[in-house]
């Protein structure tokens, strides 16, 4: 399982955007650009029409994260992993 990005993770402004990142099998994520067109259709189905277009717009904005913001995101996602693991065990 990979963290598939609708808009490439190179686009820093949406790299950690949870709307932009969804689970993908390694094969889909590594071939054919992660099946971006199908990914966009899925996002619109999951979150509403226009979601993919909005993510594309945001991905093209310049966004710089401070060290503090990056550390806060790292702590948030570490905590989410802990909670998921506990849920799976319980």
Residue 82 has pLDDT above 90, yes or no: yes
Q: List pLDDT tens digits, range 12-42.
A: 999 999 999 999 988 888 877 789 999 999 9
Which helix H or strand E contains 14, and what residues bound it? none
Q: How far is Cα 43 from Cα 50, in angstroms, rounded to an integer?
A: 9
Structural domain tally of the chain?
Answer: 1
The answer to whether position 19 is within a domain reads: yes
The answer to whether position 89 is within a domain reads: no
Taking the alpha carbons at both ends of the chain, their separation in whole angstroms is: 22
Residue 10 has pLDDT above 90, yes or no: yes
Give the pLDDT of residue 89: 78
The answer to whether position 38 is within a domain reads: yes
Q: List pLDDT tens digits, range 56-78.
A: 999 999 999 999 999 999 999 99
The boundaries of the domain holding residue 15 are 2-63
The answer to whether position 12 is within a domain reads: yes
Structure tokens belonging to residue 6: 């609708």
The answer to whether position 84 is within a domain reads: no
The answer to whether position 57 is within a domain reads: yes
Residue 88 has pLDDT above 80, yes or no: no
The answer to whether position 87 is within a domain reads: no
The answer to whether position 77 is within a domain reads: no
């Amino acid at each position: 399982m990979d963290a598939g990005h609708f808009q490439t993770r190179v686009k820093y402004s949406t790299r950690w955007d949870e709307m932009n990142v969804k689970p993908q099998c390694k094969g889909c994520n590594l071939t054919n650009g992660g099946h971006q067109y199908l990914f966009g259709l899925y996002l619109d189905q999951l979150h509403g029409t226009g979601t993919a277009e909005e993510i594309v717009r945001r991905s093209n904005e310049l966004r710089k994260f401070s060290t503090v913001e990056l550390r806060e995101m790292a702590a948030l996602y570490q905590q989410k992993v802990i909670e998921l693991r506990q849920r799976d065990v319980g």
